[in-house]
Amino acid sequence: MTARILNGQELAQQIQAEIRDEVIEFIENNSVTPCLAAVLVGENPASEVYVRNKRRACEATGIDSQLHRLPATAATDDLLELVKTLNKDDAVHGILVQLPLPPQIVEARVLQAVNPRKDVDVFHPENVGRLMQGRPRFLPCTPQAVQELLIRSGIDTRGQHVVVVGRSDIVGKPLAVMLMQRGPGADATVTVCHSRTRNLAEMTRQADILVAAIGQPKFITAEMVRPGAVVIDVGINRIETGLVGDVDFESVKEIASAITPVPRGVGPLTVTMLLKNTLAAARDGAL
Ligand code: L34
């Protein structure tokens, strides 16, 4: 058996077409264009690609985008000042501070400085707290991408055992919280594994749905996957041969029932969820 390939790129295009219609209607009704301000510090090549993809997607859906660049040598206060300006600007509905930031910048201070109503990444403690309480203002982009992919691919999560490998604040942790919540695309039994987990393969083999968000190229091999499991690869690793995920796609696709590729899997959906959140942020301000 070879797995069904879950094409995130195709889904992303479909969802972007829906968002585009909503944006047009929003502009008609409010005479306001939703606007995302991206902040890029330094010249990390991967960040350049991601931010470019985000701005292109804005353009494709009728959302305005701004790009604010700071040098790699910028201080925390420089970034705080920029964030403050964007907070005050009524034309800006969503603020995205692309991570990672250079080491001299105190990330937590910057993320806390973003107006929670413009925090389309869900990094502000208020929004993280709201997510934990099951009353989110926005859903974080990559976890939401995974959830949306599962829902739109007709993969039921209710009562299923989801094993998330990775405990980051950007993917693993919030995704685990979302999947254990009540409701569609959730109601799952969730296990979170990480680098300190004993007998990791034994754990991952228990998964009905296995999510890899570790940041290690081809880390998940066929022996770690139960035959028939759904495998979602959140990893994006640049190696000599190109872009690969956290899953050894070639071997795992022979054993899984469904699998996301890298590229064109979760990545394009992450970008799309950012657009959705930006429109929601604009709606919030226009009410
Ligand atoms: N603040 N920082 C903030 N928010 C985020 O949500 C992110 N992330 C991660 C890095 N830093 C962030 C992203 O947006 C990773 N990420 C992201 C964005 C876009 C893509 C992948 C990850 C993407 O477009 N992936 C394409 C291929 C891109 C390529 O060629 O490198 C894909 O098909 O997977």
Question: What is the pLDDT at residue 286?
Answer: 57
Which tokens in the block code for residue 4?
A: 């069904």
Residues of the chain with CATH 3.40.50.720: 141-267
- Is 98 an annotated catalytic residue? yes
Which tokens in the block code for residue 194?
A: 């990480």
CATH code of domain 31-115: 3.40.50.10860
In DSSP notation, 115-145 reads -GGG-TT--SHHHHHHHHTT--SS--HHHHH
Q: Which atom of ligand 1 is nearest to the CA of 53?
A: 24
Distance 141 CA to ligand 1 centre (A): 10
Question: What is the pLDDT at residue 285?
Answer: 75
Residues of the chain with CATH 3.40.50.10860: 31-115
- pLDDT tens across 173-220, in order? 999 999 999 999 999 999 999 999 999 999 999 999 999 999 999 999
pTM value is 0.98
The architecture CATH gives domain 141-267: 3-Layer(aba) Sandwich (3.40)
> What CA–CA distances, in Å, run from 127 to 86, 90, 164?
18, 20, 22
Which tokens in the block code for residue 218?
A: 């081809």
CA-nearest residue, atom 26 of ligand 1 = 267
Residue 209: how many CA atoms within 13 Å on its side-chain side? Answer: 29
Choice from 50, 101, 138, 272 to test ligand 1 binding pocket (greatest atom count within 8 A of CB): 50
Q: With a cut of 50, which residues of the chain have pLDDT below it? A: none
242: left (phi over 0), alpha (psi -120 to 50) or beta: left
Which tokens in the block code for residue 121?
A: 């990444």
- Is 112 an annotated catalytic residue? no
Q: Which atom of ligand 1 is nearest to the CA of 46?
A: 31
Q: Which atom of ligand 1 is nearest to the CA of 100?
A: 11
- Is 54 an annotated catalytic residue? yes
